Amino acid sequence: EDQVTQSPEALRLQEGESSSLNCSYTVSGLRGLFWYRQDPGKGPEFLFTLYSAGEEKEKERLKATLTKKESFLHITAPKPEDSATYLCAVHWDTGRRALTFGSGTRLQVQP
Amino acid sequence: DVKVTQSSRYLVKRTGEKVFLECVQDMDHENMFWYRQDPGLGLRLIYFSYDVKMKEKGDIPEGYSVSREKKERFSLILESASTNQTSMYLCAILSSGSYYEQYFGPGTRLTVT
């Protein structure tokens, strides 16, 4: 069963059109939920780690929020340079140190 | 800033060759990882290491081995490369303690012909 699910798979926005990406998870004992940005042909770029429900973090036009079952990445007034794939991943309390990744949301922002 | 470097950005090898991919970090982190990323399959964990000479298998270890002789260096070895190992390979480190942050290297695009 999928433990980390991202939606939508792809999203096309007009410049300035705000929206949200979703990451839902089914694991228990969450130790951290991670958001990344990935440009084609490059390694993922770390954005945020969220640790507990109610937590929020911001970076430029991006704001990440966390509830007990999901996280949202809000993009406010996006620009074309925000076009990328956004990945989320979870680290939970199994003793395993590795993260489990979602399949990503491909975001395209058109001028 | 944490820096994770990988030995090659692009690599082309022949079937049956032994291939070494090297990852180096500059921050003395204990946890290091090797993932591969394929379209439609996402990021999949091959191996990770939590200390020098310590390693654990990830989700898809078959056909791969790893080596960690020094804390800053984690190598992925393809014992006998096959065409189904053509992929993007990503090394990562995980800082731990009070805060978790995982940083990736730039990736190695490996093509096996």
pLDDT single digits (tens) B65-96: 999 999 999 999 999 999 999 999 999 998 87
Q: Write down all domains in chain A, each with its CATH number in brackets.
A: 4-110 (2.60.40.10)
Name the pLDDT band for B37 (thresholds 50, 70, 90): very high
Average pLDDT, chain B: 92
Nearest C-alpha of chain B: how many angstroms from A15?
A: 27
Contact yes or no for A54/A66 (Cβ under 8 A): yes
What average pLDDT does range B25-43 have in this prediction? 90
Q: Which residues contact B97 (CB under 8 A, 6 or more apart)?
A: none
What percent of chain A stands above pLDDT 70?
A: 94
Residue among A44, A49, A97 whose CB faces B104 most closely: A44
pLDDT digits (tens, 9 = 90+) for B8-24: 999 999 999 999 999 99
The domain locations on chain B are: 4-8+16-94
Instruction: Give the other-Cβ count within 10 Å of A21's Cβ.
Output: 22
Give the CATH class of B4-8+16-94. Answer: mainly beta
What average pLDDT does range A61-89 have in this prediction? 96
What average pLDDT does range A86-103 have in this prediction? 83
Contact yes or no for B49/B31 (Cβ under 8 A): yes
What average pLDDT does range A16-24 have in this prediction? 97
Q: Indicate yes or no: CB of A46 within 8 angstroms of CB of B33.
A: no
> Closest by alpha carbon to A38, among A109, A111, A88?
A88
